[in-house]
């Protein structure tokens, strides 16, 4: 189906690369965008598949993950409304480097390569913003790798919780997108250690842990801990 283009619910209004477009440019992009609803647990694509589309999260939360040689899942990152992915498969003849799974009911918008490239060629501003966004993604990936390798578990956890908090529009209650064992794997620790660290933060009054969610009480202190 076509993307929803009313009341600012379109992905065009959510993604930075489409900011500052003229009304005429928005119409051109809108004509190229398609959207599809996904149920929780559905896979959008598998690692190793080829693709010629740019994917944009309009609603819902996704995770990108890989399987190790031993068959163990490793979460790479979470994706929230306004995030885009598949850009490398779009710009180059490359296969997807990860699996994309829907964690909550989602609407995913897509733009095919044959439609997207002419728009980029005709709009230097948008092409520049797209390159900046891709560069920012690479910087975020480097930052996260540095977080995993250099920070203590407490700071890694605080950084992840602040990410969820910020992407949840600074709402106090955060519904965890995955189970604690998956969060522990993302943080490079064990579920037992993760539970102890959450309990420690709770005892300090920074948050409250409930079944499947975390309520942030002191985001400023948590941000300071994250560094």
Query: What pLDDT, on the 0 to 100 scale, is given for residue 143?
Result: 67
Q: Are 34 and 1 in contact (CB under 8 A)?
A: yes
Domains annotated for the chain, with CATH where assigned, are 11-148 (2.60.120.10), 152-226 (1.10.10.10)
Task: Provide the token pair at 226.
Answer: 């994250």
State the pLDDT at residue 196: 95
Residue among 13, 48, 49 nearest 33 (CA):
13
CA distances to 93, 146, 186 from 42, rounded to whole Å, are 25, 31, 20
Sign of CA dihedral 165, 156, 66, 14: positive
- The reported pTM is 0.80
pLDDT of the residue at 215: 96
Burial bucket for residue 76 (CB in 10 Å: 0-12, 13-18, 19+):
middle
Collapsing DSSP to helix, strand or coil, 115 comes out as: helix
**Tens digit of each residue's pLDDT, the chain (227 residues):** 656 544 445 677 777 677 667 777 788 888 888 999 999 999 999 998 888 888 989 999 999 998 888 888 888 888 988 888 887 766 776 788 899 999 999 999 998 888 888 888 888 877 887 788 777 777 766 666 666 556 788 988 998 999 899 888 889 999 988 888 888 888 888 999 999 999 999 999 999 999 889 999 999 999 999 88
């Amino acid at each position: 189906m076509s993307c929803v283009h009313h009341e600012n619910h379109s992905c065009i209004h959510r993604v930075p690369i489409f900011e500052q477009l003229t009304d005429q440019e928005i119409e051109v992009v809108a004509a190229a965008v398609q959207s599809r609803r996904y149920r929780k647990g559905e896979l959008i694509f598998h690692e190793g598949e080829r693709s010629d589309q740019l994917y944009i999260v309009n609603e819902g939360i996704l995770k990108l993950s890989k399987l190790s040689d031993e068959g163990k899942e490793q979460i790479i990152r979470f994706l929230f409304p306004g995030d885009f992915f598949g850009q490398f498969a779009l710009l180059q003849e490359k296969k997807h480097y990860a699996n994309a799974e829907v964690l909550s009911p989602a609407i995913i918008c897509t733009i095919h390569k044959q439609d997207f490239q002419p728009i980029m060629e005709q709009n230097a501003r948008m092409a520049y913003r797209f390159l900046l966004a891709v560069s920012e993604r690479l910087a975020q990936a480097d930052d996260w790798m540095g977080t995993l390798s250099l920070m203590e578990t407490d700071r890694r956890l605080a950084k992840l919780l602040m990410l969820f908090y910020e992407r949840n529009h600074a709402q106090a209650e955060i519904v965890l997108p995955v189970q604690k064992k998956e969060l522990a794997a993302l943080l490079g620790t064990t579920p037992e250690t993760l539970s102890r660290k959450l309990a420690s933060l709770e005892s300090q009054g920074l948050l409250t842990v409930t079944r499947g969610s975390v309520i942030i009480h002191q985001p400023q202190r948590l941000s300071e801990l994250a560094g």
